[in-house]
Structure 1
Amino acid sequence: MTLAKKPVEGKALSPAESTLPAIDALGALNSVIDGALGYLRLREEQQTKRATIDAYATVEVARIHEASSFLKQYFEQVFAERSTTIEGLFRHLDVAMTSGDGTATEAALQGIVDLAKSSPLVDLGDLSQIRKAWDDPDHVWEL
C-alpha cells in the first residue's frame, strides 16, 4: 500500500474532550473582534490626522506661493524703478561732466551713492507686520 492510500489512524475526540473549551473560543473571538475594531478606530483617527496635516500643508504652500509671487512683483517693480532712476542719474552725471557743471556733477554722484546705500527692503517696513498680513486670510494685497 502506498502512503496516499493508507488510512489515517487515530482516535477521534468527542466534543466534550476538545482541548479548547467553547467559552475560551468565544473569548478569543471577542478579543479578535475588539482588536480589529480598535485597529479600525485608530486607523481612522490617523487618517483624519494625516488629512488635516495635508490640508494645512496645502494651505501653507499656497500662501507661500502667493507671498513669493507678491514679493517677486514687488522686487520687479522696485528694481525697475531703481533701474530707471539709476539710468537717469548717470545721464545727468554725463551731461553735468560734459558741460563742466561741478554742482550738477556732485548732485548726480550724491544721488547715485544715496540710491546705492538704500535697500528696497527698507521700504517694506517692519517685516513682522508683513508676516501678520500673510497670516491674515482676509488681508488684501495691493500692488
Structure 2
Amino acid sequence: MTIKKLLGNMPKMPVPTPDPNMAFNTLVSAWKECSIVTEQEKTKRENIRSYRDVNIKAIEENSAILKLYLEKTFAERSTVIHGMFDRLDAGIASGNLDVISATIAAIVDVTKQSPLAAARELIGNYRDPNVAMIEI
C-alpha cells in the first residue's frame, strides 16, 4: 500500500513555513525555564537535606541525654533500694516494727515512681523554649 492510498481523499493542508527566529526564541525560553526549575529543585533538595541533618542531630542529642538520665536514675534507684533493704534486714533482725514499717513504706513509694514518666517530663522540658535550665 502506498501513502496516497492510505491518505485517500484527505484535504490538503498547507504546512506553515517555520520561522527560524520564533523557533530559536522558543528553544531559548524553554532552556531558561528548565534552568530555573533545576535551580529551584536543587534548593528544595538542599533544604530537605538540611532539615534531615538538623533532625538527626536533635535525635542524637535527645538520645544521649535520655540515656545518661536513665543510667543515673536507675543507678540511684538501685543504691536507694539496696540501702532500704539493708535497713529492712536490720529492722527484722532487731525486731523493730517501726523501722520495718517505715522501710516497707519507703520501698513502696520508690517503686511507685516511674523513671520513664520522669524521662518524658525531662524531654518535654528539653523541647520547651520557655525552660531556661534543667537539673538532672
Q: Is TM-score (shorter-chain normalized) higher than 0.5?
A: yes
Structure number with greater Rg is 1
Identity of aligned pairs, percent?
A: 31
> Structure 1 residue 40 and structure 2 residue 35: aligned?
yes
- 1:95 CA drift (Å): 1.5
| Unmatched segments (≥5 aa) in structure 1 | 1-18
Is residue 2:114 matched to residue 1:119? yes
Residues 141, 51 of structure 1: alpha-carbon distance in 2 compared, 3 angstrom cutoff: farther
Equivalent AA in structure 2 for residue 49 of structure 1? K
The offset of 1:49, in angstroms, is: 1.3
Q: Deviation digits for residues 40-71 of structure 1, max 9, x if unmatched?
A: 11011111111012112101110111011011
Matched, 1:53 2:48: yes
| Aligned with 2:66 (options 57, 71, 81) | 71
1:129: which partner in 2? 125
1:26 equivalent in alignment to 2:34: no
Unaligned runs of 5+ in 2: 1-14
TM-score of the pair, normalised by structure 1: 0.72
Tell me, in whole angstroms, the C-alpha distance in 1 between the residues paired with 2:40 and 2:133: 36
Matched to 1:83, the amino acid is S
Structure 2 CA distance for partners of 1:48 and 1:78, relative to 1, 3 Å: same
Distance 1:93 1:106 in 2: 9
Q: CA deviation at 1:127?
A: 5.3
Q: Is the aligned partner of 1:95 residue 2:93?
A: no
TM-score scaled by structure 2? 0.75
> What is the aligned-residue RMSD (CA, Å)?
2.7
Q: Deviations over 1:19-42 (max 9, x none)?
A: 66352x321222122112101110
Matched, 1:80 2:75: yes
Counterpart AA for 1:81: E
How far did residue 111 of structure 1 move? Answer: 0.8
How many residue pairs end up in the alignment?
121
Over 3 Å counting, the alpha-carbon distance change for 1:142 and 1:38 in structure 2 is farther
Deviating more after overlay: 119-128 vs 70-79 = 119-128
CA distance in 2: counterparts of 1:126 and 1:68, whole angstroms = 12
